[in-house]
Structure 1
Amino acid sequence: MREVIFDTETTGLDPRNGDRMVEIGCIEMIDRVETGRTFHAYFNPERDMPAEAERVHGLSSAFLATKPRFAEVAEELLAFLGDAPLVAHNAGFDFGFLNAELERAGHAPIALERMVDTVALARRKHPGAKLSLDALCTRYGIDRSHRVKHGALLDAELLAQVYVELTGGRQIGLGLAETVVSASITALSPHSTSGNAPWHRPPGDRPVRPPRPHVASPEELERHAAFIAGIENALWTR
Structure 2
Amino acid sequence: MARETPPRIFSPTRRKAVRRRMLELQQAPDAPRYLLDDMVEDMLERLAFLRHQPQKALLIGDVGGALKKTLEAQGVEVTAAEPGAGFEEEAPYPFSGFDLVASLGTLDTVNDLPGALIHLRTALCAGGLLIASFPAAGSLPVLRTVMLAADEDRPAARIHPLVDVRAGAQLLQRAGFADPVADGRHLEVAFRSLPREIGDLRAQGHSNVLADPGPSLGKAALMRAAAAFEAAAVEGRTIERFEILTLSGWRR
Same fold (TM over 0.5): no
Q: Which structure has the higher relative contact order (CA within 8 Å, separation 6+)?
A: 2
Name which one, 1 or 2, has greater alpha-carbon Rg: 1
TM-score interval (norm. to shorter): under 0.3
Comparing both structures, which one devotes a greater share of its residues to helix?
Answer: 1
Q: TM-score, normalised by structure 1?
A: 0.25
Return the TM-score normalized by structure 2: 0.24
